[in-house]
Amino acid sequence: MKFDVEVFRYIEKDAWRVLVSVEMGMKNHELVPVELINAISGLKHGGAFKFIRDLLKHKLVHHDNSKYDAYRLTPLGYDYLAIKAFVNRGAIEGVGRRIGVGKESDVYEVVTEDGETLALKLHRLGRTSFRAVKSKRDYIKKTTTHTNWLYLSRLAALKEHAFMKALGDNGFPVPVAVDVNRHAVLMSIVDGYPLTQVGPSRLETGAVGRVYKQCVDQLENLARHGLVHCDFNEFNIMVNPETTNITVIDFPQMVSTKHPNAEELFVRDLKCLHKFFLRRFDYRASEDPDGRRDPVFFEIAGGGKSLDVSLRASGFTQKQSKELEEYQAAKEAEENGGGGGGDDDDEDDDDEDDDSELDDDDD
């Protein structure tokens, strides 16, 4: 995302209205016809067209006339809608530099009205992987909404915010969940570095074992609370080299210990830690007199307080969780060599509750 303050500041109210109309049209259209944009926006005499041109100029929408005259949101357009909502709520005042890039997300520094610096994570679940989902699985059904990258990214953000808040409320070392809108999660800045950026020169003698122990402790603690991280590696563990305290990040792929593949996923997370600490620090817990014994999944799974109640209270539903898990599974299958593309013509007419309201852009 290239955030242009001047563009953001001077977008007219009706232009925002049109941008939201495109978003709403994409609930059940990959490409939204101009006539539908006009109808949703409620602007008189085809008034949406003038604002569509402005949005197109700033790359907030994409024009496609291969089948009919239609538009869709760009990732930048979706970013602007989420940022606009946070600004209207008074949650943030400005957007700063990008501080993190993942396979399916970007993280930016943002500033509040009080001058506090927070992190804004923008989920970007890709359209390429979405084609694989459609071709490999019965993912879009008459019982679900029209599923596209907006919806999938929004689900990822909702899940991350819900899990982050539930974990934080139960004492886990995670960022503070501040707010969520569309595909964007607002959270506290972590005081530390990704473990992948921390080498032997940054950790004093004996600190490696302490960091490893914390990592395995958290992996076990998650399982005791009924959860498996599923991506517990050096990219999703932050460490403060001075205190050796860790912070766990990135939660959209987490599953319940009741998931049929939970033990396999738990062991995979544990092996990721083994491999990284051996490769980076030549560290083996089995050779450390104070080394941490590996937890055994069936001995610990679900042995503590379940977070199910907290997660249900967040509003993130089991149906949404299942849809996101299906996406993650299909994406992993594609990355492991399966699946080809598919067309993007399937459409569904079922509605889903949406955050967008034409008369109030601040939600």
Query: What confidence tier does 46 reach under pLDDT thresholds 50, 70, 90?
Result: confident
Tell me if residue 169 is catalytic.
no
Residue 147: the pLDDT is 52
Q: Is the pLDDT of residue 15 over 90?
A: yes
Alpha carbon separation from 10 to 15, 58, 143, 299 (Å, rounded): 10, 11, 41, 59
Q: Please name each of the domains of the chain with its CATH number.
A: 5-73 (1.10.10.10), 91-188 (3.30.200.20), 193-335 (1.10.510.10)
Structure tokens at 315: 């509003």
Average pLDDT over residues 26-31: 90
pLDDT per position as a tens digit, 121-155:
999 986 444 454 444 333 334 334 445 788 889 99
Where are any strands of DSSP class E within the chain? Answer: 32-33, 61-64, 70-73, 94-102, 105-111, 117-123, 177-181, 184-188, 193-194, 227-228, 237-239, 246-248, 255-256
- How many residues does the structure list for the chain? 363
Residue 122: the pLDDT is 96
Average pLDDT over residues 219-240: 95
Q: Is the pLDDT of residue 29 over 80?
A: yes
Residue 83 to residue 76: CA distance in whole angstroms: 10
Average the pLDDT over each of 94-98, 125-129, 229-233, 352-356 and give the range with the smallest value. Answer: 352-356
Q: Is the pLDDT of residue 281 over 90?
A: yes
Residue 330: the pLDDT is 78
Q: Which of 132, 247, 255 is nearest to 192 (CA)?
A: 247
Residue 351: the pLDDT is 37
Q: Is the pLDDT of residue 292 over 50?
A: yes
Q: What are phi and psi of 204, to 5 degrees?
A: -70, 165
Residue 287: the pLDDT is 92
How large a percentage of the chain has pLDDT more than 90? 63
Average pLDDT over residues 223-252: 95
Average pLDDT over residues 89-96: 95
Strand partners, 62: 72
Query: What confidence tier does 245 reach under pLDDT thresholds 50, 70, 90?
Result: very high
Average pLDDT, rounded, for the chain: 85
Q: What 3-state class would DSSP assign to 318?
A: helix
Residue 143: the pLDDT is 34
- In the set 54, 79, 231, 269, the catalytic residue is 231
Average the pLDDT over each of 158-172, 265-279, 306-320 and give the range with the smallest value. Answer: 306-320
Residue 102: the pLDDT is 82
Residue 329: the pLDDT is 79
Query: What confidence tier does 340 reach under pLDDT thresholds 50, 70, 90?
Result: very low
Whole-angstrom Cα Rg for the chain: 22
Residue 348: the pLDDT is 37
Residue 165: the pLDDT is 94
How large a percentage of the chain has pLDDT more than 70? 84
Q: Is the pLDDT of residue 356 over 80?
A: no
Average pLDDT over residues 311-333: 76
Residue 163 to residue 78: CA distance in whole angstroms: 23
Vertex 241, ends 236 and 247: CA angle to 5°? 30
> Comparing 90 with 335, which gets the higher pLDDT?
90
